[in-house]
Amino acid sequence: MANLSRSIKADKYTQFVSHGFGKDLAKNLGLPQPAVLRRFDPAQPLISGPVLVLGSTEGAEQLASALLDWKLDVRRVATPKQKLGAIILVLDELADPTELSEPLRTAGSSLRDLSSNGRVVTVSRPAAADQEPAVAAARHGVDGILRSLAKELRAGATGNGIVLAEGVSTTAPSALGALRFFLSGRSAFVDGQFLTVTSEGGAQPADWAHPLAGKVAVVTGAARGIGAAIARTLARDGAQLIVVDVPQAGDHLAGVANEVHGTALQLDITREDAGERILAHAEERYGKLDIVVHNAGITRDKLLANMDQGRWDSVIAVNIAAQLRINQALLASKVFLGERPHIVSVASTSGIAGNRGQTNYAASKAGVIGMVRSSARLLAEHGGTINAVAPGFIETDMTAKIPFATREVARRLNSLLQGGRPEDVAETIAFLASEAAGGITGNVLRVCGQNMVGQ
Ligand code: NAI
């Protein structure tokens, strides 16, 4: 499906400062120097350069061995001055904060050798209220380390963490799935974030190039923007697509449906029977439904002092009430509950950090996060998962309308010094919808380049 892979261009400023005169000028003037990010290309290797696995535990040893199956050049000791593709820091048996010193200084001494667009990934355990204070302090210390380290990395390199629930091994299918996601170009705009692996998860896919082969997926709000990118990415990964949008967007929706060789369903998701309509379409055309991506969303910004009922109610209706109603229908239907169902919902960093003029929108997007956390147990009963993705500043028609100066500031306010692409959100959703993420549920993963707002 060559026509599905869009060429992804960096914004004009990033292109200008990436080489030659522009690069020198930015360096001399101390201007931000965003890197051109390495995006996922199924034809390219997972990561180029050796992968250094640090850590002295059994979990570290097992993980290093498991990575050999991916034909990676795995090292347990660094060779000074030799470029590294990634550093994986396994900290799965911490009992006291003093134990952090040695592995972190070892990692630190290799950071200068990390390649452009390289990766640092920590693997650790969750801190919990019922642990010894020293254990919880050590484990939660990793949170501070990773978030700071991600801010120190340059040249498109990112730092992210995997938190393994008690009893989940470092080589569990979903631990490896999360690691592969973080190492690959799929996570280009994910930085300074953690994914919690709650259970071992399903098998790794037989074909990493088509991890969604045989799956049927619905994407709402797919006529344009992030939704259209999600549809293209899921199709590239092998899924059959049902694309949903309002009748007014019918022409664009038909265009996307043709492009992904899927079917279009013109539907306002706020209709009482939206869930039933989606299920009926899926059953009739494909006989089942495996993946639902709640992407459709609207903004109707106003300061709360000026907010009218129409703005408030419409945002709540589309962004959260419709999702709740559709999920109820899904969870009552054999069409969806046949085999390991996955729901991924699009939240927003506004729902985490808040945003002036967006009390209605933030209520709806924080609502999505609440819904996802509470629904995890309902999906678990059927071997399924539900997660949210919270995009930061993404280059879309919506953000192109922001006045130039505000937009320029907004897109640089993150560790990668640039806006993300709709494809970055789509890649993250495709991963969370895959079997490799079968042990990951109730998570909220930000796709924001480590935006300075919120956590
Ligand atoms: P967009 O406005 O370009 O696309 C949204 C699509 O949803 C449109 O095609 C629209 O027709 C459809 N839609 C709206 N109401 C609908 C309804 N009642 N029924 C069916 N379809 C409906 O928006 P964009 O930028 O692609 O955003 C997609 C999602 O990402 C939204 O949930 C948005 O809140 C979220 N988001 C976007 C960010 C950005 O920077 N663009 C940042 C954070 C979150």
> Does 69 score more than 50 pLDDT?
yes
* Ligand 1 neighbourhood includes 297 CB (under 6 angstroms): yes
Catalytic position from the list 361, 376, 434, 443: 361
Domain ranges of the chain: 1-33, 51-197, 216-447
Backbone angles phi, psi at 379, to 5 degrees: -70, -35
Least confident of 93-107, 112-126, 307-321, 400-414: 400-414
Radius of gyration over every alpha carbon of the chain, rounded to an integer in angstroms = 22
pLDDT (tens digit, 9 = 90+) per residue, 430-442?
A: 999 999 999 999 9
Q: Is the CB of 227 under 6 A from ligand 1?
A: yes
Which residue puts its alpha carbon closest to atom 34 of ligand 1? 297
- State percent of the chain over pLDDT 70: 95
With a 6 A CB cut-off, is 353 part of the ligand 1 pocket? no
- Arithmetic mean of pLDDT, 415-422: 94
- What percent of the chain is modeled with pLDDT above 90? 83
25 pLDDT above the threshold of 80: no
* 325-338 confidence digits (pLDDT tens): 999 999 999 999 98
Reference 372, options 382, 353, 387; nearest CA is 387
Same fold? 51-197, 216-447 = yes
Sheet with 114-124, side-by-side order of all strands: 74-75, 51-54, 84-91, 114-124, 158-164, 194-197
Asked if 95 and 134 count as a contact pair (C-beta separation under 8 A), the reply is: yes
Mutate to test the pocket of ligand 1, among 242, 272, 298 (most ligand atoms within 8 A of CB): 298
Mean pLDDT across the chain: 93
Query: Which pTM was predicted?
Result: 0.94
| CB-ligand 1 contact for 449 (6 Å cutoff) | no
Ligand 1 atom, smallest distance to 365 CA: 34
CB 425 within 8 A of CB 389: yes
Question: CB of 89 within 8 A of CB of 54?
Answer: yes
Q: Which residue has the tokens 């190492």?
A: 183
Listed in sequence order, the residues at least 6 apart from 286 whose beta carbon sits closer than 8 Å to its beta carbon are 216, 240, 242
Q: What is the mean pLDDT of residues 373-378?
A: 97
Task: Say if CB 257 and CB 283 are below 8 A apart.
Answer: no
Residue 391 CB less than 6 A away from ligand 1: yes
Domain 51-197: homologous superfamily in CATH: NAD(P)-binding Rossmann-like Domain (3.40.50.720)
Q: Annotated catalytic, 361?
A: yes
pLDDT band at 5 (very low <50, low <70, confident <90, very high): very low
Dihedral pair phi/psi, residue 438, rounded to 5°: -60, -20
CATH superfamily of domain region 216-447? NAD(P)-binding Rossmann-like Domain (3.40.50.720)
| Confidence bin at 398 (pLDDT 50/70/90) | confident
pLDDT: which is higher, 32 or 124? 124
Q: How far is the CA of 446 from the centre of ligand 1 (A)?
A: 17
Q: Mean pLDDT across the stretch 374-394?
A: 96
Give ∠ CA 301-305-310 in degrees, rounded to 5. Answer: 50
Closest-lying ligand 1 atom to the alpha carbon of residue 394:
40
